[in-house]
A = this chain, B = another copy of it.
């Protein structure tokens, strides 16, 4: 899915993604997708189920799981197991790809971009015959301000 898409056009892109992959555009899929897009944070399957219930959209648990699986497979959302038990997901609508540098002392997050890392990744993925959908680089350490203290 392309980056930097305006919210109102997301649904059209999802529809296109389904059609391109010979998958059916069902109301259930569109509703689950809309719900995920409306979330501004990480979510898990139950979050979606709860919000659907609140909206009186009777979509089954199985369909929610299956739609999440589909979205992950096509790189629309990504899984990150934050807690010990459930899987958490996040929409991959990166405005522009960036990496994170996290200060373990004050918690500050510095975002940066690196052409070099992107190209190294391409080389590595080719070497392993791996088709990348997304990546993230997290650098942990001590920021300038904290080092001075």
* Chain A contacts to B: CB under 8 angstroms: 72-73, 75, 78-85, 87-88, 101, 103-105, 110, 112, 114, 116-117, 120-121, 124-125, 128-144, 147
Contact = CB atoms under 8 A, between A and B. Distances in A.
Copies of chain A in the complex = 2
A137 B78 CA distance: 15
Contacts of A125: 101, 139, 141
Interface of chain A, main secondary structure: mixed
A120 B81 CA distance: 22
A88 B72 CA distance: 19
Contact of A104 (B72, B84, B147): B72
Given A82-B81, A104-B73, A130 B141 contact: yes
